[in-house]
Amino acid sequence: MRSFVFNICFYIFTAFFAVLCVVLSFLPGRKPIMYGLSGYTHTMMWLMKHIAGIKVCVSGRERVPEDGAVIIAAKHQSYGDGFVMFSQFFDLSFVTGDHLEKFMLLKRILGKAGAVVIDSCGGSDMRDRLQEKAELIRAEGRRLLIYPEGHLSQVGTQHRYRKGVYFMYRDFNCPVVPVATNLGQRWNQNQWTKYPGPAHIEFLEPIPPGLEKDEFMHRLETAIETRSRELLDLQNLGALNPDDIGKLAENDVARQKRLDKEAQDNTTERGMTS
């Protein structure tokens, strides 16, 4: 019953705030639409707590620098992840997959909010679009949220980490704050069923600028995945299947898109060098 009531409220409020944010998008500047998004995410947080029974605990917020640009690289297990992150910051830019642009209302909202919309499977196009936005976001000293796996992960599992986060880190020349979570135990991916209980989101120690790609990627993935596994609640499993812990996952659609993209990039590179 909790899941049913929550999901009905979720769709009703999502539709309402989508229309509201479209209206706000016609006002000058980013601030009006950011107020709309803030109202939406705080409403979702209230629904998660009081209807779904998901008690979210956020820790380590003080590790996020208050001044200057910073990248927040978070584990992505749940549709609820974005609500939690936006509830912590008012002016937050974010990287999202291009699949959301098929919804016309969302496309306008994303554009006005300053989102970086990329091909979810990465490649040179992703790197180009990240670089285009980097200078503007860095100049304005904004925080940028990115999910380095590029996909929602089944709780307990992980996808391979995309290198786009490194290129943004290099272009920004700023700290990256990893974020671990076990929210997927209570709201797994986009599943209908919600599981009451505590959920943790933890901001970890920032990774300083200036590292080489391999070292940076290793530090980021190790920090996020290790702490996310430590946060798993083995007394109240919720959506977690203990056999999934530590598995590397990639669905068939994502795998095929990645392989097609890599083949295209390799063909382009061979053409440039021939």
Question: Which domains does the chain show, CATH number per domain?
Answer: 2-273 (3.40.1130)
Q: Which of 145, 131, 171 is nearest to 75 (CA)?
A: 145
pLDDT at 245: 95
Please check the confidence at residue 32 and state whether its pLDDT lies above 90: yes
Contact 106, 100 (CB under 8 A): yes
Contact 138, 89 (CB under 8 A): no
pLDDT at 67: 80
Task: Report pTM.
Answer: 0.85
Q: What is the mean pLDDT of residues 55-78?
A: 93
Confidence of residue 261 (pLDDT cuts 50, 70, 90): low
| 105 vs 226: CA distance, rounded Å | 37
Residue 159 amino acid letter: H
Please check the confidence at residue 139 and state whether its pLDDT lies above 80: no
**Mean pLDDT of all residues belonging to the chain:** 86
Higher-confidence position of 127 and 92: 92
Please check the confidence at residue 135 and state whether its pLDDT lies above 80: no
| 245 vs 252: CA distance, rounded Å | 20
Mean pLDDT is lowest, of 8-12, 107-111, 219-223, for: 107-111
